[in-house]
Structure 1
Amino acid sequence: MPATDPLVASALANGELAYHYQPKIDLHDGRVSGVEALLRWVQPDGRVILPGDFVPAAQASGLMQTILLSLLERLLTDFGAMQAVQPGLALSFNLAAEDFGSDVVMATLRQRIEGSAIDPALFQVELTETALFEGSEQVRRQVRLLLDLGMSLAMDDFGTGYSTIDVLSQWPFTAVKLHQGLIQRLPACPRSSAIVHGCIQMAHRLGIKVVAEGIESQTVYDFLVKAGCSEGQGFWMGRPMPVEALLSFLGEERNLGGGAIGSIHLAQMQHLEERRRLIEGVFSRLSVHPGSLPPLTRPANGVGHSLERWYARTGPAFSGGRAFQALELSHVKYQTLANTVLDAVEYGATRDEVLRLLHLLTAQSAEVLALLQFVELDALQMQTLSKAPAGPESPES
């Protein structure tokens, strides 16, 4: 039964509102990489009331900002205790549009985080598309202040809004969270599977992490590992829990198993996509008058920067293998050739000279892809997806 405004105010005054924390698992290595803070109403008899039954009343009465500020110190204390057990653990929490509408709330949030002993880069704010559309200029200003502090931004419930992709293109997100409704139809629903694969590929091309919500079985977990998803959370891996239970959970050093096979597939596709863009740019300039098009634009981090991200994120797991060592050298050669091609076009080399360089680039690209496939075989040999105990199958909130 939904709670009324006076009941929620009484719960806050009596200290019955608290954060529970749900673990996030890094799907590359199967270990806990972060937690999400989720608001709960813990009644005196121990019964836990979920946000859907009391947050609407709190929002309607303007209590949510009071709740946020009242629980902020406890949140920071809890997070400090987590850091003592697992340094570098990340914490995400939700903010609503009305939170960004209050300069007092946002200034207090920044001051408390900046004044804590915890690196602001470990804090992540989760926003829904609705929050981004409501009071957009105020939200933008406040988001910039949080980012300037070093915090990061995640889009919550990605895939549920009518213009989510448009919003993604306009805001500096570092992560997107795939809605649990989409995840829970995996892998039986071919359409959902295709959409999830597409979202993961798009996000990785943008350099954005992908977090899957609502994982409730090993089958779904394994699917997401192989698809290259970055992180996951759900009842199968760990329910939202009080901080004391979470500290014990972290201390167990459990490993659900992970794998790099999905990220290798993404690296292959990203390499082909970047080569395609380079070839298109070159041919567009060879087929028209040189002065009619702007200069070629190089990627900010150099040609092949997506594969560079793969080296930094997942590659170290294979650093001792012969295929990986050869791949690193081959990719450096590819980058050098790609930049040579761009230089040749920009400085007016003949068509024959450019085509000669493109032949060399194509051969080098084929070598990179072949070596990625050998690294893939190494990954299949190394990958051990451990069979974790079956988790509860009840729906997640």
Structure 2
Amino acid sequence: MDKAMRFLIIDDEPDFAEFVGDALDALGYEADICTDATDIGSVYSSKHALILLDLFMPGLDGIEVLRFLHDNNSHVSLIFMSGKDASVLYSAKELATEWKFPVLGTLQKPFSIGELDAVLSHFKPPQTDSARAAAQDFTAEDIDTAIREEQFTLAYQPQIRLSDHSVCGVEALIRWVRPDKGFTSPGDFIPFAEQHGLIDGINYLVARTAIEQLGRWNRDGHRFTVSINLSPASIADLDLPEKLTALTRHNGVDTSDVIVEVTETAVMSDAGRYMDILTRLRMKGFGLAIDDFGTGYSSLQQLVRLPFTELKIDQTFISHICEDSECETIATMATELAHRLGLTVVAEGVEDQASMDLIKAIGCDELQGFHCARPMPPDQLQTWLAESGFGTRHGSA
């Protein structure tokens, strides 16, 4: 870590604050300690890249500290600590997330150095303006060229049906490996493409490539679904149902084997705007998945009004489901709600056998995650299908 960059521990218990400071020192980090939160105005500065914040403190509690940071336009990374109600930790995390703070995690006191180290593994030092500019080393012309020259490719992550451990689908994930610069993250180029009016070209390329590949898999005797993620800008395209239908007909693919994924946050922000297109997609037989469920603020009324067929529980909850009772509760309630609405439930981000066993116990229908398979190009997926032991439906589309 940059020596000019420090962490700040805010905890009214001097002994525990010192323990955290010693633990950070042992892990190679430098930290300052504040045992009186009312001093936050004079103690906190731009040199602090991360605050480890106790919630229950006299004088000024952790939520008041958070409000101070928010009112002063800070977006410092946070770790919340508490020896009391775990649900309060979760609520504090939700509030901080709403206020756009990067939250690395929460720690229930007492915790070990190992637990602290595990949360700190998510820390990313803030970038300077010049570093951000250097990281974004592409232009609108570069993206336009990438679309025309088909530099964008797709990797496919298998989805496993829990009832029989068969491959029931794949999710198509976009990749950009530039000839001169190597891998560029979708988190960088997708927002840029949306801002510069280039996202429609990317979305059509994704849809065409995924549906063409699905047609090839069908002809090889495999029958499963392919899920494609589309930008909210494309979901607002009135011609989208016709465009996707034309692609399925050209490639001999059933519309029912193509699932369009839309994020909860995007759709629920203006459900009426998308109702036309989403309803017509369903009328033409396409599946509709609400993605990242649990990260937004869904209205139950909107969930009923929009014709979804699938609900994907966000990996934020699944990755901690075995050790966090709140995450398990949310996943369980989401599963029960979805089943009552006639939706298939997919758990995202399953990374170990214990998580797989638990999501099956609470009633999830399908899973995807590194525990079963990472995203892979089509040729590797073909090999994986033959060697993994997971079966697929057979027969022509």
Which one has a larger percent strand, Structure 1 or Structure 2? 2
Which one has a larger percent helix, Structure 1 or Structure 2? 1
- Distance in structure 2 (CA, Å) of the matches to 1:173 and 1:72: 19
The counterpart of 2:333, out of the listed 198, 204, 209, is 198
Change (3 A) 1:114 1:149: farther
1:75-108 C-alpha deviation (Å, 9 max, x unpaired): 2221112223453201111122210333344432
Other-structure match for 1:27: 162
Q: Equivalent residue of 1:54, what SS?
A: helix
Determine if contact 2:319/2:349 at 8 Å carries over to the other structure: yes
Q: Equivalent residue of 2:329, what SS?
A: helix
Which amino acid is 2:292 matched to? D
* Alignment RMSD: 2.2
Which amino acid is 2:172 matched to? A
- Distance in structure 2 (CA, Å) of the matches to 1:138 and 1:74: 27
Which amino acid is 1:122 matched to? D
Other-structure match for 2:277: 142
Other-structure match for 1:242: 377
Change (3 A) 1:105 1:174: closer
Change (3 A) 1:47 1:106: same
Other-structure match for 2:266: 131
TM-score by length of 2: 0.60
Please state how far the C-alpha of 1:147 moved relative to its aligned partner: 1.1
- Distance in structure 2 (CA, Å) of the matches to 1:199 and 1:103: 30
Change (3 A) 1:236 1:48: farther
The counterpart of 2:287, out of the listed 108, 132, 152, is 152
- Distance in structure 2 (CA, Å) of the matches to 1:167 and 1:25: 28
Determine if contact 1:4/1:54 at 8 Å carries over to the other structure: no
Q: Equivalent residue of 1:163, what SS?
A: coil
Other-structure match for 2:34: none
Which amino acid is 1:99 matched to? S
- Distance in structure 1 (CA, Å) of the matches to 2:162 and 2:273: 35
Which amino acid is 1:48 matched to? F
Which amino acid is 1:226 matched to? A
Which amino acid is 1:218 matched to? Q
- Distance in structure 2 (CA, Å) of the matches to 1:19 and 1:53: 16
Gapped regions of structure 1 (runs ≥ 5): 257-397
Matches of residues 286-365 of structure 1 in structure 2 within 5 Å?
none
- Distance in structure 2 (CA, Å) of the matches to 1:156 and 1:123: 15
Other-structure match for 1:98: 233
The counterpart of 1:251, out of the listed 386, 391, 396, is 386
- Distance in structure 2 (CA, Å) of the matches to 1:114 and 1:123: 12
Which amino acid is 1:74 matched to? T
Count matched residues.
Answer: 256
The counterpart of 1:231, out of the listed 355, 366, 373, is 366
Change (3 A) 1:232 1:204: same
Moved more, 84-93 or 227-236: 84-93
Please state how far the C-alpha of 1:210 moved relative to its aligned partner: 0.7
Which amino acid is 2:274 matched to? V
- Distance in structure 2 (CA, Å) of the matches to 1:115 and 1:134: 34
Please state how far the C-alpha of 1:71 moved relative to its aligned partner: 4.2
Please state how far the C-alpha of 1:128 moved relative to its aligned partner: 1.3
Which amino acid is 1:70 matched to? L
Gapped regions of structure 2 (runs ≥ 5): 1-134, 392-397
1:232-285 C-alpha deviation (Å, 9 max, x unpaired): 0112211111111112112225249xxxxxxxxxxxxxxxxxxxxxxxxxxxxx
Other-structure match for 2:247: 112
- Distance in structure 2 (CA, Å) of the matches to 1:195 and 1:133: 18
Please state how far the C-alpha of 1:220 moved relative to its aligned partner: 0.8
1:334-385 C-alpha deviation (Å, 9 max, x unpaired): xxxxxxxxxxxxxxxxxxxxxxxxxxxxxxxxxxxxxxxxxxxxxxxxxxxx
- Distance in structure 2 (CA, Å) of the matches to 1:239 and 1:107: 32
Q: What's the % identity of the aligned pairs?
A: 34
- Distance in structure 2 (CA, Å) of the matches to 1:170 and 1:188: 34
1:5-39 C-alpha deviation (Å, 9 max, x unpaired): 23322322332111111100111111211001111
- Distance in structure 2 (CA, Å) of the matches to 1:47 and 1:227: 41
1:99-140 C-alpha deviation (Å, 9 max, x unpaired): 033334443222222343111111111111233246644421
TM-score by length of 1: 0.60
- Distance in structure 2 (CA, Å) of the matches to 1:134 and 1:228: 28
Q: Equivalent residue of 1:38, what SS?
A: strand
Change (3 A) 1:20 1:116: same
Other-structure match for 1:14: 149
Determine if contact 2:352/2:371 at 8 Å carries over to the other structure: yes
- Distance in structure 1 (CA, Å) of the matches to 2:351 and 2:258: 26
1:30-89 C-alpha deviation (Å, 9 max, x unpaired): 121100111111223794333102101111111110122234432222111222345320
The counterpart of 1:43, out of the listed 170, 178, 182, is 178
- Distance in structure 1 (CA, Å) of the matches to 2:335 and 2:358: 12
Determine if contact 1:69/1:105 at 8 Å carries over to the other structure: no
